[in-house]
Chain A
Amino acid sequence: MEKREIDEKIVIWLQALMNNIKLYDKGHPAIQKSLTELLSLIKPKLEEDGELTITLRSWYLYINGMRIKIKTTNFLQLKNFMELLSEKDIGGIVINQNVKNEEVLLFLELLTKEDLHREDILKLLKENEVQSIHILPLVHSGEIIDPKKRVKQIYFETINLVKQISTTENITQKLFSKFTVGIYYLIDTLKASEGLLLGLTVVKNYDDYLYNHSVNVAILSLSIGVRIGLKSKELLKLGQSALLHDIGMTQIPKDLLVKEGILTQEEWKIVKTHPIIGAEMTMDLVGLNEETADIILAVLEHQKGYDGSGYPDFVNVKPLSLFSRIIQISDFYDAVTTPRIHNPVPMSPAEAMAHLIKNAGKLFDPILSKFFVNLLGIYPLGTLVFLNTGEWGLVIGQPQDRLNIHKPVVLLIKDSTGKDIPRRIVDLSKSDLEIREAESPWKFGIDPAEYFLE
């Protein structure tokens, strides 16, 4: 298990143990089981680092300095835990190596009591001679923002930044720095809340698709970047490349982009110049040097296939750069799963994924394609699935176990007749339900944003 996953599990088990404490007596097997699980996660950390610190800082939770990653499926548990600490004015918990089981149980029991605040808990810990657990005050008072709300804010702020950068004629250093800092912020958020941000990539049709699409491509590309171990400086460049990859489209005549029918060859020729125009615009924006060449190349190559197909078609400088190959995959996926004026029913995410798999090694980089499939699953977020019960569901999360990649977490939204039902989350990997078919939600008039935004 990865360090981050362990940290996340610690919080989940803390939360589970507190719930059990509320429900059962101390000797109950459910409490013992969750305590054992929790300690099995905590002990190695205590041995390694000497202590375990859980810190709440604004809307992030840290364990021994490492920020906890929030997945879509369990962000609620994390959020609840953070809110609990915040309500009690607790900014941190420090657990020493010599901690005893009883001390943990007592501390969590005190934590679950609604009327107790930090000062009271401290006093009671002292009275009960608990010396291995220490609590720290909340340094930043004020509201603990709902992670989902924060992620949503970052998502729309980034869209706004791309829009500003793409449409402002004379870009000031300040605006460009803001754009750059916006990307750090996006990366930062992605590292902490990948699941939530990925969920937002199913949000389509913002007032101007282009910028929405660019942010989606950036989130998907950065997620791959993080998974393949790119360094923070490289992630920044990848983020810049992805956000700017379609900037050339802003210079393509609007009537071509909104044309409902099929484009003529001449019209296509014009549309196909956008990577070159984009590269020129990017040059003006980021400058031209060894550091920025990666970014410009990615903008230039994002429509080229792994096998050299695609455009610009008059030049082939193999191999495509790494950023280009990553962005090409993300761009393809987001583009084909998005409804357009000329294509109101796009491919379903699962279909897009199947196409990606089928063409891995031809149109798409074979190894990066695998990373992409691992990232989104074969039933990616936002896929409309029909279950063996006839119920309709939207995929909202991926299973922990990769072997169950075909059994995602689903939000049930309609019954077999297509009537709305009270929404219910089902983890298919832990259920008998099975997917019979996968479709594009748009085909059935469903906008997944309805479920991912709220």
Chain B
Amino acid sequence: MKELTTLIEKAYRAYRIYPRGHEIPKHFLRQVWEKLKELFASRAEISFYIERNRILDEEGNIILEGEESEENFSWFLYKGGIKGVVITPQISLYELKDFFEAIGEVNNLDQDKYALLVALNKRNFEGISYEIAPEFIEDGNVFIPETFEEFKKLKEKEPRSEPLEVDEKPVAKIEIPIIIESREVFKISYEEEQLLQEEIEKEREQNKLHKLLIYLIEILKESDLPNFNRIIDAIEELLLIEIKNKNLKRILSVFKNLKQLTASAGQLVWATQKIKRIEFLFRKISDSKLISGILEEDKLNNKEIQEFIAHLKPPVVIDILEIAAKTEKHARRNALLKGISKIEGLDINKITQYLKSNIEHKDLLIAGIELLGMVWDESSTMFLESLKNMEDEDIRVALVKALFSLKGDISPFINDISSKVRLIAYQELKKNPRKDYAELIAKKVLDPSIHNFDTLEKQIFFSLAALYVNNEEVSKSIKKLLNYRPSFLKRIFENKKTLDTINTLIHSLAETKSKKAFEILLEGVTGARYKKVRHMCKETLKNLGGGFYGGEERNR
């Protein structure tokens, strides 16, 4: 036993000195564990009695003694209000570790003499029990009546329970013998036991915070001003926990409720003050230090992230923008930016100012451009257009998209020196064709530089041009290209590249399946000056057969 208590004391000291997970306390823990196993081979229990500075075994032998200092395990237990410890074979290594960890948590018994008991009782021990020193919680001022006469002296003068509601006073007109007859009233079936155990398990797993939040929101709706402030303080506290735990769904449900409450504020007493307080809550939560965990959590739903941000207040915008700039996943980045764009009272000027002063930070600037592309604002467009000469092609790519979505001018990018930028410009125009770009496209069809484009660009550009085939300018240019004289084409370009361009154009026209395109191709069959072009038009029409718009005409 002496060996055991010596080992326990070593483990105790180690747990108080070293941080959790350190090897030294673990080493002593294992030693204590081995010793316990050895002792339990011949004993049904191990008990210690704690005296001021010593520990005694069941027979009253001193098995540990030391000075009156916290170095001494017995002194520590004594000071912490424990007068006996019993260990039984039900103990597990995990439980033993938990016991020492609880002890390690107790910093200063002088400050809070109950700290050890509180730390131990936070845990569920199966194989360790301890006896609390009764004098530890006794209060000398409490009168304990020894007799009924003494008790009568204490009798109440002013009862302070809730009164019973007279209307609802329960009336029990049940014949007790009937209850006894049925016996069901006290027989708990196996199924009922099981059901209850399932409910208990469910309760254990359930997070009660959300339920409490729902209650608080309802109470909030009914509260007068002083109470309102207390309740909303509590809601705020709970929200911060939910934010820390990244429970986005629950947060959103509270947000929605608070917003609804604000919306229906007209009916509330002290409406202005209440709204102000709710606004204050949203401002407080709009702090990137608090919410970055949510924004950076991959597992969360992007739509919900977007909704979450939309509820926040403008001061947090720049921080979220910075997070978005570092976010590689497109969907998340987009959710972050869309969320910002929906924040009420968003100040575009502040964002553009910030971007101007960080113009050398490419990622940030691109994220900013993307964001501005989501917010319809004159100053956004102006700022974006001012960036059109930026050297970096990625920035220009972002600009094309942003400007196009804002209906700004992307014409400079259609003839950009970078094919990447040009491609994006064509794609944007394809997604949403705009008449005002027809002239530009018509010109570009005849621009000799297109023959030097790679196949992809030719395909994308002509599929764009084909979309504008009903435009007179564009159709004129297309016809003109199809009707160039071979000598002219050969003189300027290499024959192969020219034919490739025309071939791509013909196919793009065919893909539109429009009447105009059919007419142009038909014209090409008979009218093109270059034999090879005529042949291409003919073959394309043939291949298309009845699927072509003209097919219908022809059948008729």
Contact = CB atoms under 8 A, between A and B. Distances in A.
Contacts of A279: 215
Given A406-B180, A453-B147, A181 B137 contact: yes
Nearest to B230: A280
A259 B185 contact: no
Contact of A321 (B118, B144, B203): B203
B148 A449 contact: yes
Contacts of A340: 159, 161, 163-164
A322 B208 CA distance: 11
Interface residues of B, number: 96
A293 interface: yes
Given A208-B158, A280-B231, A297 B212 contact: yes
B156 A64 contact: no
B391 interface: no
Chain A interface size range: 35 or more
A208 B148 CA distance: 17
Interface in A332-388: 332, 335-336, 338, 340-343, 347, 350-352, 354-355, 357-360, 367-368, 370-371, 373-374, 378-379
Nearest to B213: A293
Contact of B86 (A62, A234, A252, A276): A62
Interface stretch (B233-241, B328-336, B363-371): B233-241
A357 B173 CA distance: 11
Interface in B158-212: 158-166, 170-172, 174, 176-177, 179-180, 183, 185-188, 192, 195-197, 199-200, 203-204, 207-209, 211-212
Contact of A181 (B118, B176, B218): B118
Interface in B74-123: 81, 83-84, 86-88, 111-115, 117-118, 121-123
B186 A374 contact: yes
A181 B109 CA distance: 14
Contacts of A233: 121-124
Interface stretch (A9-17, A51-59, A424-432): A51-59
Interface stretch (B2-10, B53-61, B317-325): B53-61
B129 interface: yes
Contact of B219 (A49, A250, A256, A315): A315
B142 interface: yes
A452 to B, nearest CB: 9
B84 A283 contact: no
Contacts of B197: 229
B83 A65 contact: no
Contacts of B209: 289-290, 293
A416 B413 CA distance: 110
Contacts of A317: 211, 214-215
A139 B117 contact: no
B155 interface: yes
Contacts of B117: 177, 180-181, 184
Contacts of B71: none
Nearest to A184: B121
B104 to A, nearest CB: 18
A249 interface: yes
A91 interface: yes
A288 interface: yes
Given A139-B58, A181-B81, A228-B196, A257 B234 contact: no
A254 interface: yes
B139 A157 contact: yes
Given A250-B160, A268-B165, A293 B212 contact: yes
B200 A258 contact: no
Contacts of A62: 45, 86
Contacts of A343: 163-164
B339 to A, nearest CB: 27
A278 to B, nearest CB: 10
Interface string B38-66: 00001111010100000010111000000
B112 A174 contact: yes
Contact of A314 (B172, B183, B222): B222
Interface string A297-340: 10010000000000010110100011000000000100110101
Contact of A357 (B111, B177, B185): B185
A349 B160 CA distance: 21
A40 B134 CA distance: 36
Interface in B402-434: none
A67 B129 CA distance: 10
Given A50-B44, A174-B112, A438-B176, A185 B137 contact: yes
Given A181-B117, A209-B156, A249 B162 contact: yes
Interface in B277-325: none
Contacts of B212: 293, 296-297, 300
B142 A177 contact: no
A213 B132 contact: no
Nearest to B139: A160
Contacts, number: 298
Contact of A322 (B156, B188, B199): B199
A217 B137 CA distance: 21
A153 B160 contact: no
B162 A274 contact: yes
B186 A57 contact: no
B143 interface: yes
Contact of B129 (A65, A276, A293): A65
A185 B132 contact: yes
A294 interface: yes
Interface string B213-231: 0110011011000010011
Interface string A205-217: 1111110010000
B234 to A, nearest CB: 5
B546 interface: no
Nearest to A293: B208
Nearest to A214: B161
Nearest to B245: A290
A263 interface: yes
A246 B132 CA distance: 28
Nearest to A267: B163
B188 A52 contact: no
Interface in A227-254: 228-234, 236, 246, 249-250, 252, 254
B145 interface: yes
B176 A378 contact: yes
Contact of A280 (B144, B160, B172, B234): B234
B49 A209 contact: no
B156 A354 contact: no
Contacts of B47: 55, 57, 65
Q: Which of B144, B161, B218 has the most CB of A within 10 A?
A: B161
A341 B88 contact: no
B162 A335 contact: yes
B215 A150 contact: no
A139 B166 contact: no
Contacts of A66: 88
A180 B192 contact: no
B260 interface: no
B147 A232 contact: no
Contact of B44 (A49, A358, A454): A49
B230 to A, nearest CB: 6
Given A180-B118, A249-B162, A336-B170, A350 B176 contact: yes
Given A156-B142, A288-B238, A297 B208 contact: yes
Interface string A271-288: 100101001100100001
Interface in B126-148: 129, 131-132, 134, 136-139, 141-145, 147-148
10 contacts: A91-B60, A139-B60, A180-B121, A228-B196, A257-B163, A263-B163, A288-B238, A290-B207, A322-B203, A357-B179
Given A181-B114, A288-B241, 10 more contacts: A53-B44, A91-B60, A140-B83, A182-B137, A205-B159, A257-B159, A258-B158, A262-B166, A276-B227, A405-B180
The 3 residue pairs across chains A and B that have the minimum distance between CB atoms: A177-B114, A65-B45, A293-B208
